[in-house]
Amino acid sequence: MTVLPAADPAGPAGTPRTGMLPELRTLLGWLFAGRLALAVGVLLVAGLRWTRTPDVSFLLAIVVMLALVVTAWSAWRLYERALEPGRGFILAQAAVDVALVTAIVHVAGPRSPFAALYVILVAWYGVLVPIRLSVVAAVAATLAYLFDALLGQPEAPDASVWVQFLVFNVIFAVVAVLGARLREAGAQQRTLESELVRVRVEADDVLRAIRSGVISVEGRGRLVFINPMAERLLELDGPAHLGKLVIERVAARCPELGRALVQGLRGERVDRAEGQVVRSDGTRFPIGLSTTTFQPESTPSPTVTAIFTDLSESKALQELTIRAERLEAVAALSASLAHEIRNPLAAIRSSVEQLARGRQASDDDRILGQLIIRESERLNRILAEFLDFSRVRAGAAERVDLLALAKGVVRLVQEHPDTHPDAVLEVTGEGAVIEGDEDLLHRIVQNLVLNAVQVAAGPVHVTVTVGRAAAGRLPPGVRVEQPVTLEVADTGPGISAEVRERLFQPFVTGRPGGTGLGLAIVQRAVAAHRGYVLVDSAPGAGTTFTIFLPSRWTAEDAA
């Protein structure tokens, strides 16, 4: 997914976010740096005063060396071995820092400005550790200051030292509590940030997985977000266009989507609309779209998000539904007309036969009578096809070996008078036993194979293939339980695009003399089995019919 990077509240990499404490390792690193700076300064002072006060300088040197050793060990443990700092680790740091500050105050005196280092020390640990450990650090600092003032100095403490001691205690308590509050607030902010990151990741996963395109623009049409599906549908390179004006590019692919985005930038929301996307190769497909607008307080223009979906599958299924409804209506009408025509047709034929056999009938009368009888027989066959078309219903279910059935049909068609002597008919595939109406399945295969040889009207190669449907073979949006495929492919003249669009409608045929009901019967028979039929053809490239049939018979099929 590609998203326009927002302003980073953390600023440059490595700097803390405003109002949020850095992580514990960073704070400890700063502590080590401050301790080293203080230790080096004390070590220099001790070196300069070594000749005058060797005892004091030796004490400072011992404390400083201890601080340096502990700091080196702590840094190695924390950064080199990447171990987590525990309670003992933190207490060890506090002990070293209290000792270092106490040594400095011991040399400078309890009334010196260096006594304020205790306040800094307690404040730092109040931020660094939970309140219990910060209280321990504050108590240790207080006792160290008091112990040094009472026992470590040559003079007895006066009132100013006790006042400073009380002030330090108050400051220690306040700083410890404030530090703990600050640390708690930082922890809560980190928790909120983690939750925000989690929500963003979940939202990204959802937007990446959905089958709808999502695109967001702001200002004058600057792209701020686009998901992979939108990139694919619009053929738009998201990373290359983030932060750029894309309204014109979107409108070039889909004018309706471009207008919807412009309306959204004006504050007008589009609840539901449809459009056509034109690909770079000239192909088109329909989409359904809607937009939402969001007006941030910090920006003068709204952010518009459009959600759009490829409607090709739903449109195709809708066409199938409409086609099935039309076929049902035509079937009912065909049955009614066939019955109404068949009865008077039989009377006409009988009357003509009697007149032709009469003694007064001339040769011309007999020839005309034979013509009427022959045409009435042809009309009767057409009416029979009408009735077959109207009666296509799945009857009792039985187990049918589709491969064996196809071989039997091919043998029959091979002997049909319309089959050219040089036509090659073959059956391939594997045995596939399904539950269905054997008569309807027989008519499906026979109509397709016979139609192939009749349309070719000459040498043709027809191949019938039976087998289990491979995974992913079904078109998107089509559901067939445990599908079996029946494929009839020929090397005939193919079907024009105009005829192919209406191929399964009644009375549509590309063969002279055809009634246009054979493929309509195939479609109804397949639908009666809850199956699905596809056709792939082009003029001069032959034709392939692919039928998907369920292996199991359901109660709905028998209804």
Specify the higher pLDDT residue, 556 or 149: 149
Residues with Cβ within 8 Å of 121's Cβ and at least 6 positions away in sequence, in order, are: 97, 98, 101, 137, 141
How much is the mean pLDDT over the chain? 76
Class for the domain spanning 319-390: mainly alpha
- Tell me the per-residue pLDDT of 324-344, one tens digit each, with 9 for 90 and over: 677 677 666 666 666 667 667
The confidence score (pLDDT) of residue 318 equals 75
Residues with Cβ within 8 Å of 254's Cβ and at least 6 positions away in sequence, in order, are: 234, 275, 276, 277, 278, 287, 308
User: Is residue 13 pLDDT above 60, yes or no?
Assistant: no
Q: What is the dihedral of CA 212, 218, 223, 229, to 10 degrees?
A: 0
- Closest of 2, 471, 421, 417 to residue 204, by C-alpha: 2
Strand pairing category for 424-429 and 543-550: unpaired
Question: What CA–CA distance (Å, rounded) separates 451 from 367?
Answer: 33
Mean pLDDT value across residues 483-508: 82
How many alpha carbons fall within 13 Å on the CB side of residue 338?
A: 18
User: Is residue 488 pLDDT above 90, yes or no?
Assistant: yes
- Structural tokens at position 287: 């989409």
Residue 340: φ, ψ to 5°: -70, -35
- Structural tokens at position 463: 């191949």
The confidence score (pLDDT) of residue 448 equals 92
- Tell me the per-residue pLDDT of 122-180, one tens digit each, with 9 for 90 and over: 767 766 766 667 677 777 777 777 777 666 565 656 666 677 667 767 776 776 677 66
Question: What CA–CA distance (Å, rounded) separates 390 from 330?
Answer: 8
When pLDDT is cut at 50, 70 and 90, the band that residue 9 belongs to is very low
The confidence score (pLDDT) of residue 558 equals 47
- Closest of 239, 265, 263, 235 to residue 250, by C-alpha: 235
The confidence score (pLDDT) of residue 394 equals 63
Query: Is pTM, for the whole model, over 0.85?
Result: no
Buried b (16+ CB within 10 A) or exposed e, 337-354: ebeeebeebeeebeebee
The confidence score (pLDDT) of residue 517 equals 73
Question: What CA–CA distance (Å, rounded) separates 203 from 557?
Answer: 42
When pLDDT is cut at 50, 70 and 90, the band that residue 8 belongs to is very low
213-310 topology per CATH: Beta-Lactamase (3.30.450)
Q: Is the domain 398-558 a CATH 3.90.190.20 member? A: no
The confidence score (pLDDT) of residue 17 equals 43
The 3-class SS string of 69-138 reads: HHHHHHHHHHHHCCCCCCHHHHHHHHHHHHHHHHHHHHHHCCCCHHHHHHHHHHHHHHHHCCHHHHHHHH
Tell me the domain boundaries of the chain: 24-199, 213-310, 319-390, 398-558
